[in-house]
Amino acid sequence: AKQYATLPDSGKTATPANAEAYYKKDMPFKYWIAYEYCWTTNTAIPEARWKANIDWVDTTFKAYGYDMICNDGWIEGAQTIDANGYITKYNDGWVNNFAYWGEYLAKKNMRMGVYYNPMWLTKAAYDKNVPVTGTKYHARDIVGPKSFNGDLYWVDAAKPGAKEWIQGYVAYFMGAGAKYLRIDFLENYENNYGTEKYAQVLHWIKQTACDKLFLSLVMPNCFDHGKTELLYGDMIRIDDDCFNGGWDFVSARRRGEHKKNWPQYGNAFDGFVSFADIGGRGQMVLDGDFIRLNTLANDDERRFQVSLFTIAGSPITIADQYDTIKEHAWAYQNNELIDLTDQGFIGKPLSYDLNDKPNSSIWTGQLPDGDWVVALFNREEMTEERKIDFAKDLGITGGAVENVRDLWAHTDLGKMTGTYTVNLAPHTCRVLKIRNVNWGRYEAEVASMIGVKKNNAIAGYTGGGYADKLGQQGAKILFTINTNTAGMYKLTVKHSNVSRATQHAGIYINNLKIKGAIKMHKQADAAKWGYTSKNIQLAAGINQIAIQSEPDNDGEFSIDHIVIKQD
């Protein structure tokens, strides 16, 4: 299939998500969605209940950063359209339109998300045969031979006027105040119309949304490990729907089973492990679907699910309602976990192999200040030991840490050396923040690896592995660091290169390429890692440093870690 990577209207090239994705203020990291009511009743949510939930979120969760509200499916009843054929409100039974609710939320300093697929064309628009704005075509000219259902047609990307319809719909929602567009049933479109047309419509949507509208791709096939979705989406669903929630959704449903198409994984834990390599800053937000705390068996399971979604970098999406959550709101209000989300934290499992039960249940990652976050999970039905080795798994010199903090107990456990070991009861977890004595060292295997894979075949690396096979054009590693002061810093890269010649890497600071490539010198012995350095100018605060393979490279190299020290 063709790759529609160039955006001709802007002259820009599409890259996986946005390089600054994890620091955008309009990211939907913490929000409420109307799913639970719709699923449990199989009807659209009434407008009065929608408002009651908005007001509840405003008073109960907004202070914790939950500042967006989104409708959800059961959209067939939205047949009230404007002159252009676009739906004006979520359901015909509602009084108020999208613009009204966008303004209502804005007055509360909250944002509106919209669930809708701009490739849909309603029966009302078809029956009226509305004109397609900016063209000589009409609704019946652009629909395809296969419909989504009796109330919604699919627009065929090959038909003249399809582009204008789809891009007009996206612009319409943006004009109504939407900051987030949740585009559902993508597998249905791709299965019926093919990957080439699927990629084309995503390209059109991204072209219109640019960086002003966050695009959530729901129910995607993710063929070739999300190859198409990485080009055009900001977020992808990585597991089946929440449905009745409970432990079944969190960890048990179809555990260990993989399908080639949607839904590739039946539960959130399997999906996060298997797609963790493409999740991260500058890459893709992994969407584990929704959280229904009221469906879980006990508080341990509630901590488990919120911890899992936080550590994997997923949005924390409340589907509980004001009259179903009972006394469980506290699990959404852990400020220490919320701080991880607000800093853009995303972890990686020690193993991406679902059959490696212990190591796929241990997640690690670094905060911008270099401190580590470790999450230990027990998915099993019996008590099991979990441990983290500070030297072996995190690369901390001598295995000595200044402090370990339990983020659910809100307790400092003090200095430790060697390992942290715990016996976890079934369905429980520990989330730890570990003060890093190696200030300035950032491990590549937990950074965003774009077009790169984690490996551990070459001895002599630090931490849990290294980033391998930087060679193809565009392959890069993205580190996010926090510096106290602006100034000149020395960037040192620990690398391995056994190719035919010296390889070159471009250095990008906050999306801007700096002058002069950094050289990865050839080595005779792969196990003897080399070091190369370059002085770089950094601003005070958050800096994103990308190390990217240059086009003239004719070989591959690996990166173990980087060290940042003020010059």
- Total domains in the chain come to 3
Quick check: is 177 in a domain? no
Quick check: is 501 in a domain? yes
Q: Looking at the structure, tell me whether residues 519 and 561 fall in a common domain.
A: yes
Quick check: is 196 in a domain? no
From the CA atom positions of the chain, what is the Rg in Å? Answer: 24
Q: Looking at the structure, tell me whether residues 469 and 416 fall in a common domain.
A: no
pLDDT in tens, the chain (567 residues): 333 333 333 323 233 333 333 334 346 689 999 999 999 999 999 999 999 999 999 999 999 999 999 999 999 999 999 999 999 999 999 999 999 999 999 999 999 999 999 999 999 999 999 999 999 999 999 999 999 999 999 999 999 999 999 999 999 999 999 999 999 999 999 999 999 999 999 999 999 999 899 999 999 999 999 999 999 999 999 999 999 999 999 999 999 999 999 999 999 999 999 999 999 887 899 999 999 999 999 999 999 999 999 999 999 999 999 999 999 999 999 999 999 999 999 999 999 999 999 999 999 999 999 999 999 999 999 999 999 999 999 999 999 999 999 999 999 999 999 999 999 999 999 999 999 887 899 999 999 998 899 999 999 999 999 999 898 878 999 999 999 999 999 999 999 998 878 888 999 999 899 998 899 988 877 678 999 999 999 999 999 999 999 888 888 899 999 999 997
> What is the three-state SS of 265-299?
CCCHHHHHHHHHHHCCCCCCEEECCCECHHHCCCH
Q: What CATH number is given to the structural domain containing 447?
A: 2.60.120.260
Q: Looking at the structure, tell me whether residues 93 and 229 fall in a common domain.
A: yes
Among 313, 350, 310, residue whose Cα is nearest residue 333: 310
How far apart, in whole angstroms, are the C-alpha atoms of residue 45 and residue 69?
A: 13
Q: Measuring CA to CA, how many Å separate 291 from each of 38, 268, 320?
A: 14, 10, 7
- Specify which residues 368 forms β-bridges with: none
The per-residue pLDDT for 438 is: 79
Q: Looking at the structure, tell me whether residues 237 and 336 fall in a common domain.
A: yes
Q: Looking at the structure, tell me whether residues 338 and 364 fall in a common domain.
A: no
How are the residues of the chain apportioned to helix, strand and coil, as percentages rounded to the nearest 5? 25, 30, 45
Q: Measuring CA to CA, how many Å separate 316 from each of 96, 271, 458?
A: 27, 16, 37
Q: Which structure tokens are listed for 171?
A: 């612009």
How far apart, in whole angstroms, are the C-alpha atoms of residue 554 and residue 563?
A: 26
The per-residue pLDDT for 499 is: 82
Q: What CATH number is given to the structural domain containing 410?
A: 2.60.40.1180
The per-residue pLDDT for 215 is: 96
Q: Which of 303, 326, 346 is the last residue of a domain?
A: 346
How far apart, in whole angstroms, are the C-alpha atoms of residue 274 and residue 354?
A: 8
Three-state SS for 59?
helix
Distance of CA 483 to the CA centre of its chain: 25
Contact 139, 126 (CB under 8 A): yes
Contact 291, 270 (CB under 8 A): no
Q: Which of 325, 346, 367 is the last residue of a domain?
A: 346
Q: Looking at the structure, tell me whether residues 342 and 362 fall in a common domain.
A: no
For 367: left if phi > 0, alpha if psi spans -120 to 50, otherwise beta; the answer is beta
Q: Which of 434, 452, 477 is the last residue of a domain?
A: 434
Dihedrals phi, psi of 226, to nearest 5 degrees: 80, 25
Quick check: is 130 in a domain? no
Quick check: is 162 in a domain? no
Indicate which residue of 184, 239, 468, 560 is catalytic: 184
Q: Measuring CA to CA, how many Å separate 127 from each of 93, 131, 143, 153, 350?
A: 20, 12, 12, 11, 55
Q: Looking at the structure, tell me whether residues 97 and 243 fall in a common domain.
A: yes
Q: Which structure tokens are listed for 87?
A: 């739906």
Amino acid letter, residue 459: A
Boundaries of domain holding 225: 6-112+202-213+221-346
369 is catalytic: no
Q: Measuring CA to CA, how many Å separate 538 from each of 98, 123, 489, 563?
A: 43, 55, 7, 14
The per-residue pLDDT for 4 is: 34
Contact 371, 435 (CB under 8 A): yes
Q: Looking at the structure, tell me whether residues 396 and 365 fall in a common domain.
A: yes
234 is catalytic: yes
Quick check: is 1 in a domain? no
Q: Looking at the structure, tell me whether residues 419 and 551 fall in a common domain.
A: no
The per-residue pLDDT for 21 is: 37
Q: Looking at the structure, tell me whether residues 254 and 363 fall in a common domain.
A: no
Indicate which residue of 67, 156, 234, 270 is catalytic: 234
Q: Looking at the structure, tell me whether residues 232 and 87 fall in a common domain.
A: yes
pTM: 0.95
Q: Measuring CA to CA, how many Å separate 110 from each of 24, 58, 69, 91, 191?
A: 15, 8, 8, 22, 36
Quick check: is 209 in a domain? yes
Q: What CATH number is given to the structural domain containing 24?
A: 3.20.20
Quick check: is 475 in a domain? yes
How far apart, in whole angstroms, are the C-alpha atoms of residue 496 and residue 521?
A: 8
Among 160, 174, 159, 158, residue whose Cα is nearest residue 207: 174
Q: Looking at the structure, tell me whether residues 230 and 371 fall in a common domain.
A: no
The per-residue pLDDT for 17 is: 35
The per-residue pLDDT for 34 is: 98
